[in-house]
Chains A and B, each alone.
Chain A
Amino acid sequence: MAQPQLKNDSPSPANKNADDLVQVKNLRKHFPVQSGFIAEMLNRGQIPAVKAVDGVSFSIRRGEVFGLAGESGSGKSTVGRLVLGLLEPTDGQMIFDGNDLGSLKPEEMRRLRSRMQVIFQDPLASLNPRMSIGEAILHPVKIHITNDPREGREVVYQILKKVGLAPPEQYYDKFPHQISGGQRQRIVIARALVTTPDLVVADEPIAMADVSVRSLLLDLMMRLKNELNLTYLFITHDLATAKYICDRIAIMYLGRLCEIGPLADVYEHSGHPYTRALLEAVPVPDPRHRRKEPMPAGEIPSAINPPSGCRFHPRCPIAQANCAVDEPELRELRPGHQIACHYAEQFLE
């Protein structure tokens, strides 16, 4: 396929051969909570904040599928937005291919954007209902690749074929409401990939699709990843699906990582009580299967005043007195597998 070259050269990476495409260093994002004038006076200017992301570090290697999993409110989607530079972090660094996003000029950031793309959960909400499918995909093409209408159309046709919508002429002039949900998500994938990005942040990309459509979309995403040398940050609440595509996975709880490592190792030798509970809770499509361990008490607490020490301690079945005081750091307890629990060893014998 004769793909026109990118119009602008992206900022050249400082360390081109480094293994890590993305490095996230001690990232924090606090959202101030709106409170009244008097409350603010009483708090003496201390505005309460939702600590959505509160000190998260990890790196994503070139060409891998990195899973980020957790329940609603864990902060996983906020991390995704921070990685894309769609949100400004309260603290910490986000380095993409050697470029620190915090220190880039707007013009440099704009050029970098073509190399990182996003796929959201709801394709209908991600597509402009009054823009035809062809126009929707042409939009990033015009910004990043070519202004020539004929060339542009050809680029769109190529990517439509790649995502399995052939013949592309049939789809180009259709509107989002005229196609099925699965096809819509293919359009969103096509639009994200048309600029041949390096990184794709996929935030629950298949959560809304039906079971039979899910396996097709997953297959498409994996095929395109290999074809186009992509790196995925795959954000999900679904640990069963993650198993089929992720190389490594990080588990998030209340703004912190509790466990990170190669997927098989995390699933088979999980050392954090929260990871263990999450894995145990996943419904298994086998009526003979019965859950063995009891579920943790209560529900995920507020991120405004997270529990002291280990954030999971009020619900943890193995918590000791010091868990309420000392916040556990991630410790490498198996090769490449880190766990933030003071008592993880008991699960790893």
Chain B
Amino acid sequence: MESRLRVDWIKCDGYGLCGDFLPELIELDEWRYPMIQPGSVDRSHLHAAQRAVDCCPMKALLLEPVIEEPGRRAS
């Protein structure tokens, strides 16, 4: 099953640890808020992605299975 990283933007406080742990997939803006590479997470990055999720002090980073919702544009 494919997984995708998602940020709960209301929870995220810009600690930026995710970008430090996973620079391959997460770039930080000048305020240290994450910019996530779109698409599903490649298998080779799954372990690191889970570590980034676990490190988030706000529990704002989520690694979720990709579910296609009918009638909804994937973002």
Q: Do A and B come from one complex?
A: no
